Amino acid sequence: MLLTPDSSDLTLVTMPVAEIATDLLLLPVFDGESLDDIPGLDERAGGHISAAMTSGEFQARPFEVYLTPLTGWKSARVGLVGAGQRTEFTTERLRRVATAAALAARQRRVTRIAWLVRGDLPPAAAVQASVEGLGLASFSIDRYKSGERGGPPVAEIIIAMPGVASPDLTPAFERGRVLADSCNVARELCNEPPNVLTPRELGERAAAVGRDAGFTVEILDEKELEQRGMGLLLGVGQGSAQPPRMIVLKHTPKGKAASPHVLGLIGKGVTFDTGGISIKPADGMERMKTDMSGAAAVIGAMRAIALLDAPMQVIGVIPAAENMPGGRAIKPADVLTGAGGKTVEVINTDAEGRLILGDGLWYAKELGATHLVDVATLTGAIVIALGRVASGLFGQPSPWVDTVKRSAEVAGDRCWSMPLYDEYADQLKSEIADMINSGGRPAGACTAAMFLKEFAGGLPWAHIDIAGTAWAEESKPWQPKGPTGVAVRTLAELAFTSQSWNPGPQSGSKQ
């Protein structure tokens, strides 16, 4: 069982750049600059750097890479990585440029690299973003290949900040390392085939990550779900030979908790989604193995939260099921009853994620969460609205949604706020139950979020729809085709911001 994916041996140094012994020295380069701040570099490169810049062979466009040998330094070669305009250089640009650099080295099967931190960002922020970016390049999508595979992860990475001495650098370095590895844990889970990663196996993987990272895990089986009346989760899972699970992860900070708030993270864990009786088209159905990306994000975030010892209690709740057709599967027109007593008329069995999240949100409240965030590959409608470059963000009240959005911006996960107008609830009215589970095509992402709002119980709540961002459909210099690990860093960042939260209403008793 894989607890931590392939990762590199990372080291932080402040020695002069000429003294760094490595196979390839990599550094970000900005448009129009001369690299005069690195004395002797062009000379040791035989003048090739200045010649490439003058001729336009290297123009410092974002993610462009230029390599040339070095003599007289302990690095064998130097690689210039385009970073674009210096005035546009942010932590997110740095993170992506660092990933692109490490992936370029990996494609060339370079085993040792050094990354020179440059730019005008605060040193600690620059170190963290660099380590995150370099660490993300360690993920491999081809684990199941028995033949030719891509280049192995770089074995040794040195992060260099010559002459910079600050006590903040080491914590920033460690935080970046943990966040990168935790994102890669989520990506590994998303990449697993559905015959391997069943709801039961997802619970076992979460428990193994918890033992490794130091958070507790409880797994409710189908009998315990029935005892708690979780009819929405049970209904979705009843068509499969693989029984559903409710996976509960808990982090308690060492010593006395510094925050009165309890953060509840709820992740959609549909380990495979056929659509059920409302079956999906065959074309592209294989991608439905990633319908548990929200669950993977919660597991990855809880790993980071525990290892970095966030100063507040955090509860992760993952309703996990397979959505399959079969003689016992739920049918359109069935009525299900959730654990909180709400009844739902099933109009479309392919709108199953909101059903299991309903029981998940309810259970997080029962366990004592005061603030809620759910993450789910919920709707194709959000892909139509935002494409694959941003996740949809919904919630209540506005200050809480703004808090989540700020955490996403810091973490480098793009989110765009979407509306929750009261009129959307009209599309969810049922003649025979409290509501229906699908409001149809118009405003599909908004009505799905409105459905979830009914289970938040008035608590501060945010919903992140990652249907368009959980999987990269095409390769970019900083992101190979495959799972992205979206929302892991956002959820982890949120657990360190509780001092700025407005107090929320208290939920039910803790268990």
Asked whether residue 227 falls in the same domain as residue 134, the answer is no
- Same-domain status, 121 and 205: no
Residues 275-312 have pLDDT tens digits of 999 999 999 999 999 999 999 999 999 999 999 999 99
How far is the C-alpha of 350 from the C-alpha of 215, rounded, in Å?
A: 33
280 is catalytic: yes
Number of domains in the chain: 2
Q: Which helix (H) or strand (E) holds 371?
A: strand 371-376
Active-site pick, 289, 354, 365, 489:
354
Q: Is 405 annotated in the active site?
A: no
Last residue of a domain, one of 113, 146, 161: 161
Sorting pLDDT into bands at 50, 70 and 90, what band is 510?
very low
Q: Per DSSP, what are the bridge partners of residue 273?
A: 323
Residues 6 or more apart whose Cβ sits within 8 Å of residue 372: 264, 266, 361, 364, 365, 456, 459, 460, 461, 462
Q: In the predicted model, is pLDDT for residue 506 greater than 80?
A: no
Residue 134 sits in the same domain as residue 221: no
430 and 333 within one domain: yes
**Residue 173 lies inside a defined structural domain of this protein:** no
Q: pLDDT tens digits for 23-36?
A: 999 999 999 998 98
Q: What is the CATH number of the domain that holds 490?
A: 3.40.630.10
Q: pLDDT band at residue 509, thresholds of 50, 70 and 90?
A: very low
Cβ(103)–Cβ(122) under 8 Å? no
Same-domain status, 298 and 343: yes
Q: Where are the beta strands (DSSP E) in 397-465?
A: 415-417, 435-436, 461-465
Task: Say if residue 348 is in the same domain as residue 222.
Answer: yes
pLDDT digits (tens, 9 = 90+) for 248-282: 999 999 876 667 899 999 999 999 999 999 999 99
- Summarize pLDDT for 321-375 with one digit per residue, the tens: 999 999 999 999 999 999 999 999 999 999 999 999 999 999 999 999 999 999 9
Tokens coding 332 = 């359109």
Q: What is the band of 151 on the pLDDT scale with cuts at 50, 70, 90?
A: confident
Domain that holds residue 13: 9-161
* 95 touches 140 (CB < 8 A): no
Asked whether residue 225 falls in the same domain as residue 149, the answer is: no
Determine the pLDDT at residue 414: 96
Let me know if residue 211 belongs to a domain.
yes
Q: Say whether both 278 and 421 belong to one domain.
A: yes
Contact 359, 414 (CB under 8 A): no
What average pLDDT does the segment 210-218 reach?
97
The arithmetic mean of pLDDT across residues 129-152, rounded, is 89
The pair of structure tokens assigned to 313 is 């209690």
Same domain, 376 and 425: yes
CB-based contact 91:172 (threshold 8 Å): no
Residues 317 and 227 in one domain: yes
Question: Does residue 169 belong to any structural domain of this protein?
Answer: no
Q: Pick the catalytic residue: 280, 287, 388, 406?
A: 280
Q: Looking at the structure, tell me whether residues 103 and 206 fall in a common domain.
A: no
Q: How many CA atoms lie within 13 A of 77 on its CB side?
A: 15
Same domain, 233 and 308: yes
The pLDDT of residue 388 is above 90:
yes
Alpha helix (H) residue ranges in 346-498: 353-366, 380-386, 398-411, 444-453, 488-494
CATH of the domain at 91: 3.40.220.10
Which residue is it, tokens 């280049």?
Answer: 151
How much of the chain, in percent, has pLDDT values that exceed 90? 90
183 found inside a domain: no
Q: What CA–CA distances, in Å, run from 107 to 25, 140, 154, 278?
A: 15, 12, 10, 43
